[in-house]
Structure 1
Amino acid sequence: MKLVVACEDTGAIKVVTALHGTDTSKPADDASPAQAVSITTHAEGNTRRSKVLQLVHSKHTGNIIVSRLNGAVEVYDTSKLEPAAEPLKDGAEKNDNSSGTIDLLQLVQENKSLIPPFENKDSEIFIDLLLDDSGRVIVATNKGSVFIWASEDKISNEPLKFTLPLDANESIESLQIHPGKENVEYIAYGGKETDLRVVKLPSLEKTKKRKNQPEVIFKAKNLSNSRLELRVPIHIKKILFDQTSSPDHLKIYTFTQWGDMRFYDSALGRKPRSSVLVLPKKASIINAIWLDSNLVLCDNTGVVVKVDPSTGSLMSKFKGHIGTTHALDNFQNSILATTGSDRYVRAYDNETRECIIKVFVGTQSNAIAIIEDIESWKGKRQHKHTSGVSGEERMSGAGNGEKREEEEESSDEEELWNKLESNITQRRKRRRLALV
């Protein structure tokens, strides 16, 4: 499997190639030898001041598109990325003529300084980078600026620019394009104290004349006050359109700073039809994506869960994460990729929730995309399930697998955090003695 990861610490981009079953967190032994892992670093000339904010994989061309903190948007060509060489078997001789893995992530398009340089907390910054179903590239900022290119091969050209309707002192933290080639002109957005709105972009002919701006077609209302007559706070972190939504009948999910999932139905009014606490302890929802017909959410406490969109109830967990999980990626509704502050890249099987890849990349990462699945994991899974094992045995095996997962969770990661907590406790005791 080949994954592209954006490094938060250095501003570089890493390409990780690993075989299914790879786990670099465990020492290899004779019984389970280490799988081949290739990690190459690209765009090394960047720093934290030009770190990657968003990263998307184009289904149209296979390219990687990134937006950076310094206001640049870049397109990288992945056509020269070749699969990693397979590990040598016992007794096999190495071919001196083979060049091994060739990883070239070439910068092919770039547009610099779309927004002023980031200098303080009030600076303009990119909050979303999207590819719509017609192949257009859309970049939005927290100040409501939206830049649109007709295709990724025209990034170096001047983009069309719109300004989203915002009241004074409002800002946005999430933007989403309506799915469907015929509906790409509908955009939803929201943020801190900026409730959900949906606008329709003007037609291309009027856009060229630069006379018209987006028109608001739906503006949500907040929930009713609490029992103590206190206003319910608004802080939208992520927006997703329902898979059955249409411009005439909008169905939208929003995910908040307080761990709530709210569902809006334009045919039934402007207020949320439901508001469900989907994460424990009201943790902040960092990201949310569709995985098949279900939702996958992550927060800043290491929780990655699958949620039923109709009820908001928890269906299952993807275990093993520590700290903030920044990015999620869905590969053909069969594999879920994650990365975050614990410096690991993980890939999970959607059906069994088994962690099929776990690779230490050495730096915090805030974006991820699977660009290729070298092996057919789906075929391997079907072969595994049809190799003469009965359904009851598979269920018992799954139960044992969950037990093993729980045992593994209380091993390396918990030992590390226990050591950190003990060190903090010792420091506090020393401070108290010093004060006495």
Structure 2
Amino acid sequence: MKVLVAAEDSGSLKEISFPPGTNTSIQGTSEPDITTFATAGRTSYVQRLTLASIKGKDYICVARKGGVVELYDQDSHELFFSQVQQSVVAEDAFIGLQFVHGLLFTCTSAGVLRVIDLHDHKRGAEIYTTNLVETSSSSSGSNIHHHHNNNNNNNSSNSNILQQTRSISAFRVHPQRPNIVAFGGKDFELEINELKNVVANNDERDDARWKIIPNDSKIIPRQKLWKAKNVKNDELDLRVPVWVSDVWFLDVDDNAAADSLNDHFRLVISTRFGHVRVYETSSSRKPILNVEVGEHPLVALTVTDSDREVVFGDTHGTTARFSLITGRKLGHYVGAGGSVLSLDTFIESSNKTNNNDDDDDGENHDNKFIATGGLDRFLRVYRMQSRELVGKVYVGTKVSAVKILDASEPEAAQQQTNNDGNANDNNDDDDDDDNNNKKSGQKRRRLNHDEQEGSEKQQKIKVESNDDESDDDEDVWKLLKEDEQP
């Protein structure tokens, strides 16, 4: 298994490879193979981490504290692309990083959204910007445009954003339609916007499915499609506070068409007040499911492959799977000793696993994994369904982000397993030979015993027959004696 983690204390990336069953807290278990690269120091630690594939090549995308966005080759770990967002000040932080159809999206807590077009990166990546947090009351209409064109105006706009009390703490791009984004935060209800100049590419000669319509201002106009409404007041008739901590799109294939006239979306969010909520934009602005899953703030959320379950983590080490159908917890992933800062799910391709259609409970779930990392400085990997701990590795630093690269077993460990299996088979053969020898010896002993008993019986019969003969001779002798007397 191969997992990528971001080390907060050193600002580096660590690629950790280990066989299933590894636990560095227990002596005698196999040691992981850790490769450290892209070290930049604590002042530039990785805040967000994702993967990208550009023209068949795999890359690691990171967003660092201070506004640095970098891409590293996944195989060689060499720096491929770097871009510094000068307008982002130190107080701002990345809360979103996502790669969709050749476009890299970054979003900060101040609401600064940037879209980097990496389709033709050799000629320079085009960067487009928009502000998700409105800077004035006059921009409350459905169409929102920004007219600043230079860096001075950008810096002024960002300063105005940071002065606001509202901030964004959750951001997500629709995985099939990169022109649709959802975001929310502290005192900021969940909102869905459409990026107007991110459009589907109908040119068959171009490999890019989506593209950005260029403009001189490099500003992305956006349109508000939908905004959530708060739940009703509590039992004391007080307003329920709003703080969205993460958001995910559900059933993404149902609205993947770019020309859909009646857009409706299904989303799930977590809150810093311990709630999991599900929204249906076609039915209501209020959540159709609102469950308080715990007393502590939820800081991490991820969906499973079914879109009917989510996994969440809170600030007190709780990691649990939750059903969006029944509104109940399905089990806990135990072991974390502090806040869970990052979660990642991984489903291994079917050609790497030996699935059995007749087995509905065990083997067909073994290819689903979930990784956690946080303040306790441990990386943990579990099987999603059974919640079995597959690996536990001490990283030595706070884990700010985690991503599973590969769930297959390393070749060396697999070879060792095969050798152990062959040794066990040989031992079994030796045991069978020993058992056969023991059985043969027992059979021979039984035969010897039977022969001995038979010879004793024959000797006894012979003695008895001799005794009978001697008795007969004695009787005849007595008769002869009686005849001789007068």
TM-score, normalised with respect to structure 1: 0.73
Query: Using the alignment, how far apart are the partners of 1:9 and 1:359 within structure 2?
Result: 17
Query: Using the alignment, how far apart are the partners of 1:212 and 1:304 within structure 2?
Result: 37
* Paired letter, 1:257: R
Query: Using the alignment, how far apart are the partners of 2:214 and 2:189 within structure 1?
Result: 26
Match of 2:66 among 70, 73, 79: 70
Query: Using the alignment, how far apart are the partners of 1:275 and 1:167 within structure 2?
Result: 31
* Paired letter, 2:74: T
1:29-178 residue pairs with structure 2 within 5 A? Answer: 34-44=29-39, 46-58=40-52, 61-80=57-76, 105-118=77-90, 123-132=91-100, 134-151=101-118, 154=121, 157-166=125-134, 169=164, 170-178=166-174
Q: 1:76 to 1:25 in 2, by over 3 A?
A: same
CA drift of 1:250 comes to 1.5
Q: 1:178 to 1:264 in 2, by over 3 A?
A: same
SS at match of 2:167: coil
Query: Using the alignment, how far apart are the partners of 2:188 and 2:37 within structure 1?
Result: 37
Greater Cα offset, 34-43 or 282-291: 34-43
1:62-100: CA deviation from partner (whole Å, max 9, x where unpaired): 2110000011000011123xxxxxxxxxxxxxxxxxxxx
On the 8 A contact 2:46/2:65 being kept in 1, the answer is yes
1:232-265: CA deviation from partner (whole Å, max 9, x where unpaired): 1000000111125637112111110011011111
1:267-416 residue pairs with structure 2 within 5 A? Answer: 267-278=282-293, 280=294, 282-293=295-306, 294-332=309-347, 334-375=368-409
CA drift of 1:206 comes to 5.0
On the 8 A contact 2:46/2:63 being kept in 1, the answer is yes
Match of 1:25 in 2: 25
Query: Using the alignment, how far apart are the partners of 2:223 and 2:85 within structure 1?
Result: 27
Is 1:3 the equivalent of 2:3?
Answer: yes
SS at match of 1:268: coil
Q: 1:341 to 1:198 in 2, by over 3 A?
A: same
SS at match of 1:27: coil
Would you tell me which structure has more helix in proportion to its own residues?
Answer: 2
Query: Using the alignment, how far apart are the partners of 2:92 and 2:384 within structure 1?
Result: 37
Q: 1:6 to 1:212 in 2, by over 3 A?
A: closer
Query: What is the Cα-based RMSD across aligned positions, in Å?
Result: 2.4
On the 8 A contact 2:8/2:46 being kept in 1, the answer is yes
Gaps of 5+ in 1: 29-33, 81-104, 384-436
Gaps of 5+ in 2: 137-163, 199-211, 349-367, 418-486
On the 8 A contact 1:137/1:152 being kept in 2, the answer is no
1:232-247 residue pairs with structure 2 within 5 A? Answer: 232-243=240-251, 246=255
SS at match of 1:172: strand
Query: Using the alignment, how far apart are the partners of 1:188 and 1:302 within structure 2?
Result: 27
CA drift of 1:4 comes to 1.2
SS at match of 2:386: coil
1:175-254 residue pairs with structure 2 within 5 A? Answer: 175-180=171-176, 183-204=177-198, 207-210=214-217, 213-243=221-251, 246=255, 248-254=263-269
On the 8 A contact 2:118/2:126 being kept in 1, the answer is no
CA drift of 1:125 comes to 2.0
1:374-410: CA deviation from partner (whole Å, max 9, x where unpaired): 4189xx9xx9xxxxxxxxxxxxxxxxxxxxxxxxxxx
SS at match of 2:10: coil
On the 8 A contact 1:75/1:152 being kept in 2, the answer is no
SS at match of 1:20: coil
